[in-house]
Amino acid sequence: MRIGVVVSPWGTSPDTSAKVGGLAVYAKMLPGVAAVGSGNYGPTDKDLTRFKNWIKKNEINRVVFASCRPRLFKEAYKNAAVDVGINKYLIEVIDISELCAAEAGDEIVAEKAKILLRAAVNRVGSLEEVKAQKIPIEQAALVIGGGLVGMEAATRLADQGFKVHLVERQPWLGGKTPQLGTCFPSMDCGNCIAPFHGELHRRCMYRSPVAQHPNVEVHTLSSLKRLVGVVGNFRAVIETQPRYINEDKCIGCGVCAEVCEGEAPNEFNLGLSKRKAVYIPSNQSLPRIYYLDRESCENPEEVAESCPVGAIDLEMGVEEKTLSVGTVIVATGFDMYEPTGMYGYGEHRDVLTQLHLARLLDMSGPTGGALLKPSDGERPDSVVMVQCVG
């Protein structure tokens, strides 16, 4: 083991050289130190070459670089040491700027600099060489969350040739944005993707290639149960809840919904209307495949028999699958703030959130775009909007 110590006052006043020189003398007395270099080692090519030659001349295999401003060029000196055969994990850089700025008689600061140097020498002497290895990387990605951000991330990765697993816990993609209706000022669909480079219109989510992209596998009604491994090599266990409708067979005809007798509050409309137990929330839902709510369905066998292509499977259960991926993108979205108890919300049916209002104003919403009070279905005489609640 041959430890080399470089002590440099680069960029400081001439008075500093004496203090730094004293630190260099101290370094020679430390166990394991084979050579000590001092002087101005700056960021120039000439200084870096001098540093390399010093390492080779003294057959150094571990380096401690002590300088007054190391953050300005420490990476350059680390790379220079690596260039002449020093393992990058056997290089220590310490900042002695307090010593460089201290008054000549400040013995406390000088002693601190010695302690830092001694600790660095002891550390570099105890380190083990770590050799770089090339390991195979899974050329696949896991995107958690099927909202607009997750869909866009999946599409961009897939366009670059990577396999992408897009995981969404709901039966359909899109997240909250399909509930927004149209957006000012372009009046495009809220679930379309905002422009990036000054385009006049948003990009249509419904026409997004994500659901049909050959490199994207969509896992709806799914969630991440377990993730193990390291960066570049993960094993992700995905748990999928039953849809009770075969995605490969369903043609979206809606016959099952017509036969279904059960109803439940419509989550897509935030409870402002009812839905069938077999349903699809909107005409723009992706994928355009129905979902069977077994808890709300009163005649599941009759519903199953009504399907013209035999897509309904009442025996479906929870499934697990293990995916091999190299990276994970978390795009899990958000939940709406529930201001229960504030301004009468939760007590009076006509106190609504902004998302409730969006559903009422949407042409495909529960009132066909008409602003009607949930309490009696009448048109309000006035509207009060309270901003920044919560």
Do 17 and 86 fall into the same domain?
yes
Name the token pair of 107. 């013995």
The model's confidence at residue 380, banded by pLDDT at 50, 70 and 90, is very high
CATH code of residue 263? 3.30.70
**Domain end (from 332, 355, 380):** 332
More confident residue, 23 or 270: 270
Q: Residue-wise over 58-76: b if at least 16 C-beta within 10 A, else e?
A: eebbbbbbbbbbbeebbeb
* Domain range for 219: 135-224+326-332
Count how many domains the chain has: 4
Do 107 and 154 fall into the same domain?
no
Evaluate if residue 15 carries a pLDDT over 60.
no
Do 172 and 196 fall into the same domain?
yes
CATH code of residue 47? 3.40.50
Per-residue confidence (pLDDT) for residue 184, from 0 to 100? 72
Which of 18-22, 277-281, 302-306 is predicted with the least confidence, judged by mean pLDDT? 18-22
The model's confidence at residue 134, banded by pLDDT at 50, 70 and 90, is confident
* Residue 311 resides in a domain: yes
Do 121 and 139 fall into the same domain?
no
* Residue 89 resides in a domain: yes
Evaluate if residue 241 carries a pLDDT over 60.
yes
Per-residue confidence (pLDDT) for residue 181, from 0 to 100? 82
Per-residue confidence (pLDDT) for residue 109, from 0 to 100? 77
List pLDDT tens digits, range 290-317: 999 999 999 999 999 999 999 999 999 9
CB-based burial of residue 85 (10 Å sphere; 0-12 exposed, 13-18 middle, 19+ buried)? exposed
| Residues β-bridged to residue 189 | 182
Do 121 and 19 fall into the same domain?
yes
Do 218 and 175 fall into the same domain?
yes
Evaluate if residue 196 carries a pLDDT over 60.
no
Cα–Cα distance for residue pair 353/370, rounded to 1 Å: 16
Evaluate if residue 383 carries a pLDDT over 80.
yes
The model's confidence at residue 71, banded by pLDDT at 50, 70 and 90, is confident
* Residue 386 resides in a domain: yes
Do 108 and 20 fall into the same domain?
yes
Evaluate if residue 197 carries a pLDDT over 70.
no
Do 301 and 190 fall into the same domain?
no
> Could you tell me which of 165, 188, 164, 168 has the C-alpha nearest to residue 178?
188
Per-residue confidence (pLDDT) for residue 171, from 0 to 100? 97
Q: How many CB atoms are closer than 10 A to CB 158?
A: 21
Do 119 and 153 fall into the same domain?
no
**Domain end (from 99, 126, 153):** 126
Give me the chain's average pLDDT, please: 88
| 3-class DSSP state of 370 | coil
More confident residue, 204 or 388: 388
Mean pLDDT computed over 353-381 = 94
Residue 325: phi, psi to the nearest 5? -135, 155
**Domain end (from 288, 317, 346):** 317
List pLDDT tens digits, range 48-68: 999 999 999 999 999 999 888
Do 194 and 256 fall into the same domain?
no
Do 287 and 347 fall into the same domain?
no
Evaluate if residue 343 carries a pLDDT over 70.
yes
Cα–Cα distance for residue pair 66/349, rounded to 1 Å: 70
Of 105-114, 192-201, 356-365, which has the strongest mean pLDDT?
356-365
Do 148 and 258 fall into the same domain?
no
Per-residue confidence (pLDDT) for residue 32, from 0 to 100? 92
Mean pLDDT computed over 70-98 = 87
* Residue 301 resides in a domain: yes
> Could you tell me which of 116, 110, 125 has the C-alpha nearest to residue 33?
125
Evaluate if residue 244 carries a pLDDT over 60.
yes
* Residue 55 resides in a domain: yes
Evaluate if residue 342 carries a pLDDT over 60.
yes
The model's confidence at residue 205, banded by pLDDT at 50, 70 and 90, is low
DSSP 307-340: -TT--B-TT---EEEEEEESEEEE---------T
Per-residue confidence (pLDDT) for residue 42, from 0 to 100? 79
More confident residue, 171 or 199: 171
CATH code of residue 219? 3.40.50.720
List pLDDT tens digits, range 102-120: 555 577 777 888 899 999 9
Which of 88-92, 204-208, 339-343, 384-388 is predicted with the least confidence, judged by mean pLDDT? 204-208
Per-residue confidence (pLDDT) for residue 204, from 0 to 100? 64
Single-letter amino acid code for the residue at 221? L
Which helix (H) or strand (E) segment holds residue 80: the answer is: helix 74-83
Percent of the chain residues past pLDDT 70, beyond the cut = 89
Per-residue confidence (pLDDT) for residue 10, from 0 to 100? 65
* Residue 74 resides in a domain: yes
Evaluate if residue 20 carries a pLDDT over 80.
no
Cα–Cα distance for residue pair 293/62, rounded to 1 Å: 67
* Residue 52 resides in a domain: yes
* Residue 237 resides in a domain: no
